[in-house]
Amino acid sequence: MLKTKKIAFLGAGSMAEAMIAGIVDSGLISPSQVIVTNKSNSQRLDELKRKYGIKGLHRNDIPFDEMDLIILAMKPKDAENVLTSLKHELNQDHLILSVLAGISTSFMENHLPSGQQVIRVMPNTSSMIGESATAMSPGTHTTQNNTKLAKELLECIGKVFMITEDQMDIFTGLAGSGPAYFYYLMEHMEQAGVEGSLDMETTREIIAQTVLGAARMIMEQYEDPGVLRENVTSPNGTTAAGLDALSRNGGGKAIAAAVLSAAKRSREISSDLEKGQSSKLQTV
């Protein structure tokens, strides 16, 4: 289904680039089928053109009538303006995908022409290497065919989870923001490795391999993480000492709080937007 489809990204930041890289790399879509635009940074468009062979165009030069999918990838604070500006460019065949945190399908539907097909999507930056955990949740008017089309596209960037929209906030806390928690953990592990006399490069490789191995054990052994943790932990051994330090320092609680706080922030963004308080979202 994707072979002939034309895609426009509105927004050319880190998330758009990660998706573009994954999509182009999948080979299922030719770079010539992808257009990207942004607000004003033309150097950035040149960079994406050069790296991925896609087209970078000024917003006013996008041939909307030739586009099939339009992917919103700007910040939530810019959503309302962009949706309003799109109103006169769209027809009923356009499928709108939004990757914006906290922007509900009803918010999009209310700002777009009546009956517009929209899908709320939450990818993460591992899209760049085809390893995103991506959620999707279609709006009221989206056809099954278009839901299938969007899923096919999103499968180019990793695994896709079809969830209900009320699960989007917690999904965002887990997977949209999730890579950052692991990078944070890895930054701290790196520090400790270097303090323990390993060089930075070796430490980084050791940590990445350890994280990759742990993730693959969960995916390939279908085992409960608690059981896998116990398998590592000898009574009174090194792991017990490490886990004890984690627990004494609030490690478990901190991790759960990170996920829940991110989910709460996603809900807050939605509610500020619903109340017409985009101004509260200055930097988001």
Ligand X SMILES: NC(=O)C1=CN([C@@H]2O[C@H](COP(=O)(O)OP(=O)(O)OC[C@H]3O[C@@H](n4cnc5c(N)ncnc54)[C@H](OP(=O)(O)O)[C@@H]3O)[C@@H](O)[C@H]2O)C=CC1
Ligand Y SMILES: O=C(O)[C@@H]1CCC=N1
Binding residue ranges for NADPH: 60
Per CB under 6 A, 123 contacts ligand X:
yes
Which residues have a Cβ under 8 Å from the Cβ of 176 and sit 6 or more positions away? Answer: 101, 122, 123, 124, 262, 266
Nearer to ligand X, 153 or 193 (CB): 153
For the chain, the farthest-separated pair of C-alpha atoms sits apart, in whole angstroms, at 68
Residue 41 interacting partner from ligand Y, ligand X, none (CB closer than 5 to 8 Å by kind) = ligand X
Using CB under 6 A, which of 8, 10, 71, 119 touches ligand X? 10
Question: How many chain residues interact with ligand Y (CB under 6 A)?
Answer: 4
15 binds ligand X (CB under 6 A): yes
Candidates 35-43, 138-146, 147-155, 214-222; binding stretch for ligand X (CB under 6 A): 35-43
- Site membership for ligand Y, residue 158 (CB under 6 A): no
* Spatial separation of the C-alpha atoms in residues 273 and 269, rounded to whole Å: 6
Query: 24 or 101, CB closer to ligand Y?
Result: 101
How many CB atoms are located within 10 Å of the residue 76 CB?
A: 21
Q: Is 101 in the site for ligand Y (CB under 6 A)?
A: yes
By CB under 6 A, residue 41 contacts ligand X: yes
Distance CA 86, CA 99 (A): 16
Partner interacting with residue 116 (select from ligand Y, ligand X, none; CB below 5-8 Å by kind): none
Which residue's entry shows tokens 């998706």? 19
Q: From the CB of 240, what's the least distance to ligand X, in Å? A: 35
Stretch that binds ligand Y, among 28-36, 81-89, 126-134, 169-177 (CB under 6 A): 169-177
Tell me which stretch binds ligand X (CB under 6 A): 99-107, 156-164, 252-260, 271-279: 99-107
Exactly one of 177, 207, 270, 273 binds ligand Y (CB under 6 A); that residue is 177
The Cα–Cα gap between 54 and 35 comes to 6
Starting at the earlier edge strand, list the strands of the sheet with 132-138.
55-56, 34-37, 7-10, 69-72, 95-98, 117-122, 132-138, 158-162
Is there binding between residue 37 and ligand X (CB under 6 A)? yes
For residue 12, which phi and psi values (nearest 5 degrees)? -130, 35
CA triple 117-90-76, angle to 5 deg:
70
Q: How many CA atoms lie within 13 A of 59 on its CB side?
A: 13
Is 176 an interacting residue with respect to ligand Y (CB under 6 A)? Answer: yes
How many chain residues interact with ligand X (CB under 6 A)? Answer: 29
Q: What residue number has its CB nearest to ligand X?
A: 13
Our measurement of the distance from residue 110's CA atom to the centroid of its chain's CA atoms, rounded to an integer in Å, reads 23
Identity (one letter) of the amino acid at 161? F
Q: Does 38 bind ligand X (CB under 6 A)?
A: yes
- List 172, 207, 273, 281, residue binding ligand Y (CB under 6 A): 172
Write the interaction track for ligand X spanning residues 188-217; mark x where CB under 6 A is met and - where it is not. Answer: ------------------------------
Q: Rule CB under 6 A: which residues touch ligand Y?
A: 101, 172, 176-177
Q: Rule CB under 6 A: which residues touch ligand X?
A: 10-16, 37-41, 44, 59, 73-76, 78, 81-82, 99-101, 122-125, 176
